[in-house]
Structure 1
């Protein structure tokens, strides 16, 4: 057995509500409706005119959900409904309808019918209108006992008619009904469909797959450092996480991220995380976190040693260059001073000879 193809049409025919204005009456056949996402919704209203007025006096009519500058906006001009809206009136013009295909959750709104007459400024709106709620399907998980779970196909509002549900396990049809029992701890994927809505189904629910664990910055730590462990598991509903150290019954932490600060030798060991949701639980593989064989003091010594190895030759080279430059400057200065002294002595001798000849 498999779901039928096609889509269902939701007819609003149960509760009659009459809105009257100056003898005009708009009668909606229902004020609230719940429709499944992807279905077709069919809304109907009846118009009654006052004495001496005829339906031919109605010159314009349409459905709307929004207003702009105080005026209703025709659904056919709303881009969100493009290609999905059709409306009109039957031959006697007393009954009008609105059809919305492939309804979406964003279509949830209050729909009103409005019209104008040949009389200038005369217009009428049936208010309040019809409230449409569009719902998707969800699978609710409830524990029956320690070994069994009950899955229920659920919608956020009560669907019209008598909906029939189909259950699928790993994309294969297995059963019909609104509820379905499964054993706890199953990693199979379960989803439900509504008859006639083949393209619309609930998200699959399943227990956590084996979690993956990552560590940052590394799994080999220096004393006093911090390390962060992260756990992640594919699951629906979303999983919660608990952290354990091997051979310990009590958890070390809860949450997807576990941070060990001020690391010491006591923190060394194997760690794992457990992912759990309503469907079951699953543990990650062990992750070994150890204290580095090189402690911080040794690391400082190594850093200092390598610094001296690389820096000392550079300092020595700079010193030698500076010494050479200093010597060169000193030699140049001495030569300059000697030349000046010779010139001074020569000049003095010439002065004395000049005086003697005089």
Structure 2
């Protein structure tokens, strides 16, 4: 297998190029790449171009090109045609005409960063150019370098080393009249949203930067709060750069800082924790404060707790006493039934506790009357 490398100025969707001197391939076998390094923005398209040469065989025989393709990897020592790789499916196109071949890649991903090489095969030999073209795919970023007095300095950045690119700036989606420079000093309001793009890649803008939106607050659990219970307050806001959060309790004449985290946790609520609370979200571009909300901690009185316990005890006693009396009555009834069965085995007598009580009362009255009769007789004598 033969190899050679060559470089010329690049054309197409190239952001940054590095050119080198042309190096002819051996024995008139050669591949000339238009550039050795290309840097492109994520989501954009790029073209990698080359030309190739090969000698005619001696004796007037025809040397015919049978196959051409681009590759980045090899399998079992053989280059893998890029059009057969699943990660590139539907995104690559190869165009060859008059010994000039172009690889076109669209919807670039950061994983597309690699070294691309061209290979061609004739009916006599095969050849690829080495080293190939190094493609770097970068994500455009908008950085806030400093902010003061309602102004901020923004920098549109990529990992590409280009210094001659022109930039387009946007505010709330509208293109600003001036751009060119990668940095810009802007005035920031609470509703301003800025982004940037490379000239020629307007459809691939950087992520937007903006001040925090109105923070939202959540309370968990949201049920009635009692003394001793735990409580979590959460504050969130849409912001880029990401916001820093601060929790406050609103006192009568001032607001005290409680915590400087998105969440504030009460492990054991006290009645003194009742009051108004709010949070703030702040980044380099601005600050927003949430609406105030009131937390009411229910006070658990020891006296009320003791009364509650006493009522429960009384209720339990009132339930147990009737059950105990019923149990004793059933036990007595069973004992009387057993005695009757022993004396009169052929007759069963059912005792009614109320009738037994009446019979005992009658016997007592008769006994009293018999006791009084002798006394009356003595009086008569």
**TM-score category of the 2 structures, normalised to the smaller one:** 0.7 to 0.9
Residues 150, 340 of structure 1: CA spacing in aligned structure 2 closer, same or farther, 3 A cutoff?
same
TM-score, normalised relative to structure 2: 0.71
What CA deviation, in whole Å up to 9, does each residue of 1:169-225 have, x standing for no partner? Answer: 223333331433333553322222333434322222111112121222248643333
Q: How far apart, CA to CA, are the structure 1 residues paired with 2:62 and 2:108?
A: 31
Residues 331, 238 of structure 1: CA spacing in aligned structure 2 closer, same or farther, 3 A cutoff?
farther
Shift of 1:44: 1.5
- 2:260 counterpart residue number: 254
Q: How far apart, CA to CA, are the structure 1 residues paired with 2:308 and 2:63?
A: 97
Aligned positions of 1:1-358 closer than 5 A: 9-10=13-14, 14-16=18-20, 18=23, 24-49=29-54, 52=57, 56-91=63-98, 93=99, 95-119=100-124, 123-158=126-161, 162-167=165-170, 169-177=171-179, 178-184=182-188, 186-218=190-222, 221-247=225-251, 248=254, 251-295=257-301, 297=302, 300-301=305-306, 304=309, 307-308=312-313, 315=320, 319=324, 322=327, 326=331, 333=338, 337=342
Gaps in structure 1 of 5+ consecutive residues: 1-7, 343-358
CA contact (8 A) 1:10 1:160 kept: no
Q: Which moved more, 1:10-19 or 1:271-280?
A: 10-19
Bigger radius of gyration: 2
RCO comparison, higher one (Cα < 8 Å, 6+): 1
What is the alpha-carbon root mean square deviation over aligned residues?
3.6
What CA deviation, in whole Å up to 9, does each residue of 1:301-344 have, x standing for no partner? Answer: 465356447655654575566557656755665565556599xx
Gaps in structure 2 of 5+ consecutive residues: 1-11, 348-381
TM-score, normalised relative to structure 1: 0.75
CA contact (8 A) 1:18 1:28 kept: no
CA contact (8 A) 1:34 1:160 kept: no
What CA deviation, in whole Å up to 9, does each residue of 1:226-268 have, x standing for no partner? Answer: 2211101111121111122225566321111111223334433
CA contact (8 A) 2:56 2:62 kept: no
Residues 22, 244 of structure 1: CA spacing in aligned structure 2 closer, same or farther, 3 A cutoff?
farther
Q: How far apart, CA to CA, are the structure 2 residues paired with 1:320 and 1:21?
A: 117
Q: Which moved more, 1:14-23 or 1:152-161?
A: 14-23
Shift of 1:22: 8.0
